[in-house]
Structure 1
């Protein structure tokens, strides 16, 4: 049914008149007849014509438009001083599914993970292990151990402000490179990243490339980008006013910025330090081939799916634009970085308006009031949630969540499958655990904040992956038990419950195509959940 009263105000007509007008213009062999009633245009389907369409519904290649672009999807990008928490996992799951959606359309996709191993967080780790006598060896998983060390270090920094000078000294040495501290920092960072990857592999997330900030600095990517911008007269040094001494990006050259008073953005402050967006601009130039690929690469490891994971390095192979020179780059970065990302996007636009640099923004994950209390976080009773904080230790560790969920699901699998071998039970429980975490993070629209509740995540009911997989297993079981599946269905034998199910199945090509265009995994989640509900209602009746 089409509600025509929604057009009445704009068209200044009676809804029934609008419905009649629409019905006179709509022609399709899939529609048997139309009826105007109470401002609605009701459609009655021609099932004899519709049923043949159902036979090809799983032949995805026939109705998905194919593309042949080279696209980089960069996601995760967690600082190499900590374990993966649930907020990082949202980023990684979104990026992973977006990459899979793009591959489905026939694109060549490079999946990258950017590692900021020169930031203050790594300097904090060096301080803890090298100068505060924090033991480097532990029975704990190393990234989880560093999380604990990060919190402890910050407590000491608060009590001893003079340590901040030591942090600055360490940071400077890391950025300069080619010294003992820089080598040690890279070693620590690689050790953390190896453990982070184990967590992500548990979620079926894999990569093509690790890009290290320290390698970007060694290759002087920013200096090359700055030289390029100067040659193109896209930056200038300000001589007067509040930005005196700063180098600014000339966004005023873009049409949409020409009427703005303060359009030009600072890239280099008057003291010579770079703003956050400056390094990102240089890195984006490399991605899109504006700067040549001068990186060297090595295989970092072979992942559990058998795929090589490459990494930038100091000395390795030259791979001549294997990873860069992309047509499109999709950068999965939370919404708090939108301002900086807009500067990067416009910098690229100044150089080449045809380049497609996308900031895929998503909202953060916060903790529910109940979960915050369980973590011992003091909060205002009137607030429904609290933002996570690595420094304070306020977060949900994915390894911990995974283990708790796995144990709960394994118990349920054993209960429902008496006599099943232990290893088989564990295999099923592992798949269900992975699916549960992924679905929880994908079913919510990316622009909405997820208020994470530990109890709800551990629930095995309602709109969860387990419910969907249970429905799928139920459908497979029916097909298995059926001795024969009729190819030629008689329209007269199709009941209303079956028609409702068939109508929803017919929407699948359109839903998937729309989700692919919009890069919105939650649209597929919503469709599947509704389909599961319709199927279960049909089955139970």
Structure 2
């Protein structure tokens, strides 16, 4: 039982004893740092039930709690807030119980139920970019946090490997590629295919301009551009199974998959399985036909199929085009159904997708509910804000995106530049230095993105993210390195339990360590790695204050030296584990 629960129980008991009133709970907060105390009971809400003034109520409660529960040693009252001091004995007891746990806060699953987390889910017509990086880091971190909270997790993605956007790259390669391959061009396959997606868009715009100059309206020109019509025809050929079209599709997608895997490896994310739109859209079509028979969907005169959601406060949503080809909603319906078929123990699914698709997922979940799937109520959209650059928002069609691979290289180079200026790696060989540069650069990127609440937009600045001061990945990594340097100066750390008094700095560190399990559970429930990121930043700040204020190795008392080494070691475990939940690595030297 944690200390908040202990205080909750004794406070409820005190009110029953002193005032003969039964209540379920009291409001408990952490005491503000400018007041003495560890936990604070807010007495104002109780005044509605008890005919007394806040000062008298707080004093009565405080006296009862201190007299009847040894974990609490004293109290003070400030403007109706009852500040309770927790005993050193309590903190030492709980610290001694966890000081040797290198995975404190992590919980093992107690059931076979599983949460599936979808992230990345790219289109196979371009390489991954900065926006994909936030998606991957967020989805991967949420999966890691859910695992640590005691849940079985499956990490997956749906690869959008079919559709008009794929055909655009294929058609442009046929027109302008002259047989170019990743090998002949010495370029990653995803970048090569992305190059032709951009070429298609340029040619499309040129054709629109030409049609307008020849008298077409802009709207007609956009519909009747020859290259767009050819792409639409190619999509029909693909859906009909045309051998040449399918062969080209397989070849170019193969180039992209190889490129994606290289990026995922560099980014440090992985997946347990994959789904492909080219497989699941057919299942989606089956259920749309079933929905037509049940009057869940209806056909318009042009043959397109729609779902009317106006009674639910939404609008009408197309689920099948007039030519019979699928839309995104088609494949998303099929994918969700297929996943539950494949893994019957799934009790929730999390879709990591940008907030531009908020409406799409409201519609998807509602359609699945209309189709009669009870599990649709356990679907969640992990919606996140876009990533902006100083120059503005990224646009894939115009080829102005920040490429994920290029950004990773830039981050590592920036880390190397800053680390070299600090001059603390001279005695490492080049391979060791490169490992440090990679850990710092990638760690800076991951931490910068994940420390922000998922719902907020991010203005990403690579230079700012690699700063060794402030709320950054390198600052936290450096604190871990500092602790390792301290621990290397002793042969071993004794396991003796400390029984003396605690300095305020020591007490604050233990309090923060003991909060880690709560932070993990809260981060899992809210699907917010930012809670973990900001927790470990606060932990590091507390440790640095402790380090600057109190001698560790040079204290005159052996029992204090051992205790402070134990405390430092436990902090290092927690830093490492918290960073691991964010996908951030640690190093021994910086």
Matched, 1:125 2:169: yes
Task: Select which of 202, 206, 211 maps to 1:155.
Answer: 202
Question: In the alignment, is the contact (CA less than 8 A) between 1:67 and 1:105 conserved in 2?
Answer: no
Mean Cα deviation higher: 439-448 or 26-35: 26-35
Mean Cα deviation higher: 389-398 or 26-35: 26-35
Deviation for aligned residue 1:191: 0.9
For the residue of structure 2 that corresponds to 1:211, the secondary structure is strand
Mean Cα deviation higher: 483-492 or 421-430: 483-492
Q: Give me the whole-angstrom Cα distance separating, in 1, the residues matched to 2:69 and 2:405.
A: 54
For the residue of structure 1 that corresponds to 2:346, the secondary structure is coil
Which residues of 2 match residues 2-13 of structure 1 at below 5 A?
2=40, 4=42, 7=45
Question: Cα deviations across residues 503-541 of structure 1 (Å, max 9, x unaligned)?
Answer: 212211211221122222110101000111111122122
Matched, 1:514 2:555: no
Q: Which residue of 1 aligns with 2:296?
A: 235
Matched, 1:530 2:560: no
Which residues of 2 match residues 294-443 of structure 1 at below 5 A?
321=342, 326-350=346-370, 351-355=372-376, 356-368=378-390, 372=391, 386-413=392-419, 415-443=423-451
Which residues of 2 match residues 32-71 of structure 1 at below 5 A?
32-57=73-98, 58=101, 60=104, 66-71=110-115
Q: Give me the whole-angstrom Cα distance separating, in 2, the residues matched to 1:49 and 1:325.
A: 41
Deviation for aligned residue 1:64: 6.6
CA change 1:446–1:246 in 2 (3 A) is: same
Task: Give the number of the structure whose alpha-carbon radius of gyration is greater.
Answer: 2
CA change 1:261–1:387 in 2 (3 A) is: closer
By percentage of residues, which structure has more helix?
2
Q: Which residue of 1 aligns with 2:286?
A: 224
For the residue of structure 2 that corresponds to 1:277, the secondary structure is helix
Q: Give me the whole-angstrom Cα distance separating, in 2, the residues matched to 1:349 and 1:413.
A: 54
TM-score of the superposed pair, with normalisation by structure 2:
0.74
Question: Cα deviations across residues 1-52 of structure 1 (Å, max 9, x unaligned)?
Answer: 2384885998899654664576478675432222212333212111112211
Q: Give me the whole-angstrom Cα distance separating, in 2, the residues matched to 1:474 and 1:262.
A: 55
How many residue pairs get aligned? The number is 480
Question: Cα deviations across residues 47-74 of structure 1 (Å, max 9, x unaligned)?
Answer: 1122111133335378677443123211
Q: Give me the whole-angstrom Cα distance separating, in 2, the residues matched to 1:105 and 1:148.
A: 42
Question: In the alignment, is the contact (CA less than 8 A) between 1:19 and 1:41 conserved in 2?
Answer: yes
CA change 1:348–1:282 in 2 (3 A) is: same
Deviation for aligned residue 1:92: 0.6
CA change 1:105–1:466 in 2 (3 A) is: same
Question: In the alignment, is the contact (CA less than 8 A) between 1:8 and 1:14 conserved in 2?
Answer: no
Task: Select which of 94, 104, 119 maps to 1:75.
Answer: 119
- Structure 1 stretches of 5 or more lacking a match? 290-320, 373-385
Aligned-residue CA RMSD (Å): 3.1
Q: Give me the whole-angstrom Cα distance separating, in 2, the residues matched to 1:283 and 1:118.
A: 14
Deviation for aligned residue 1:262: 6.8
Matched, 1:86 2:125: no
Question: In the alignment, is the contact (CA less than 8 A) between 1:118 and 1:175 conserved in 2?
Answer: no
Q: Which residue of 1 aligns with 2:340?
A: 288
Question: In the alignment, is the contact (CA less than 8 A) between 1:83 and 1:196 conserved in 2?
Answer: yes
Question: In the alignment, is the contact (CA less than 8 A) between 1:248 and 1:268 conserved in 2?
Answer: yes
Q: Which residue of 2 aligns with 1:109?
A: 153
- Structure 2 stretches of 5 or more lacking a match? 1-30, 32-39, 208-224, 550-590
Deviation for aligned residue 1:76: 0.1
Q: Give me the whole-angstrom Cα distance separating, in 2, the residues matched to 1:147 and 1:18.
A: 69
Question: Cα deviations across residues 445-500 of structure 1 (Å, max 9, x unaligned)?
Answer: 111111112332344432221111110111222233245446222332x2222222
Question: In the alignment, is the contact (CA less than 8 A) between 1:287 and 1:329 conserved in 2?
Answer: no
CA change 1:214–1:247 in 2 (3 A) is: closer
TM-score of the superposed pair, with normalisation by structure 1:
0.80
For the residue of structure 1 that corresponds to 2:239, the secondary structure is helix
Deviation for aligned residue 1:86: 1.2
Q: Which residue of 1 aligns with 2:562?
A: none
